[in-house]
Amino acid sequence: MKNIEKLKEIVNGCLNDDRRSQEALFKMFYGKMLAVCSRYISDPDTAQEVLQEGFIKVFDKLEVFDFKGSFEGWVRRIIVNTAIDSIRKSKRAPILKEKDTDFKVDSTDHIEENETIELTELKASMAMKAIEKLSPGYRTVFNLFVIEEYSHKEIAEILGISEGTSKSNLSKAKLNLKRILTEEFSNLEE
């Protein structure tokens, strides 16, 4: 309860444009939200910029948050949306279009729902390293489905692709991750 009261106090300060409160809120969620950005955007500088952009939106929208749900979940959603917008706007990597090969559904695609691997635990750093190696399209779908727990229908709406494409990309992302991890571990063994 104390944490909630403290958070309310900080949010109230932010609503009054109090810079110290803004700093406190920024520090409070920096680590987790930078991790979110970094999962979508490989370049560290761009991830930082997206994080800052996301926080500006958080500060702008604070007045609509009524503390009925999880504040962290709310912030997280804004940051995820900002990261996706950033990818979508990127001219160098217009990856989130149906026509993009990343999202094309191949009729020969084998959609495996339960891809497994001989591992019981994975370090966050190793997981990040593997995710970074995915193409932006696969990475985005994988992150949205697995980490953020969006449904394929929601992913389809957010990314402007079909549900089938979302499923196919998830399956390919999992296959690629399995391959990447297997290679990483065989390298370690050598």
Partner 1 sequence: MKKIEDLFKSALRDQELPYDESAWNEMSKKLDARSGEGGASGNLKWILGTAGAIVVTVGVLLYMDNNTDIKEQSKNQIASTDLKLNENTDFNNSESSNVASETQSETDDSTEKSNEKSNAKELESSYESNQEEVIQVVECCDEKVERLITPVYRETTVKKDTVVENPVLKEKLTFSPVNDKCLNDVFIYQNENNQSVWLNTPVNKLIEIKASTKIKEKLNEKGLYQIGVLNASKDFVSRSSFRVFEPKSNQLIVEDHLNYENGLPQLDAKAYNEGENKWYLNDDVVALNKEKNSFNLFKKGNYQIAMSNVDINGCVSKSVTNFWVEEDYNLMAVNAFTPSSWDSRNTHFLPYALTKRDSPFKMIIIDPSDGAILFETSSADMPWDGIDRNTGKMVDENKSFVWKVILENPESNEKPEYIGTVVRL
Q: Which residues of the chain form contacts with partner 1 (CB under 8 A)?
A: 1, 17, 19, 22-23, 26-27, 30-32, 34-35, 38-39, 48, 51-52, 55-57, 59, 61, 64-66, 68-70, 72-74, 77, 81, 84-85, 88-89, 114-124, 126-128, 130-131, 142, 145-147, 151, 153-154, 157-158, 160, 174, 177-178
- Cβ proximity to partner 1: between 93 and 146 the closer is 146
- Cβ proximity to partner 1: between 160 and 164 the closer is 160
Residue whose tokens read 């990818």: 87
Backbone φ and ψ for 90, nearest 5 degrees, come out as -60, 120
- Cβ proximity to partner 1: between 107 and 113 the closer is 113
d(CA 169, CA 144): 11
* E strands present in 130-188: none
Question: What's the min distance (Å) between Cβ of 51 and partner 1?
Answer: 8
d(CA 126, CA 47): 18
- Residue 188 CB: number of other CB atoms within 10 A? 8
Please give the single-letter amino acid code of residue 137: G
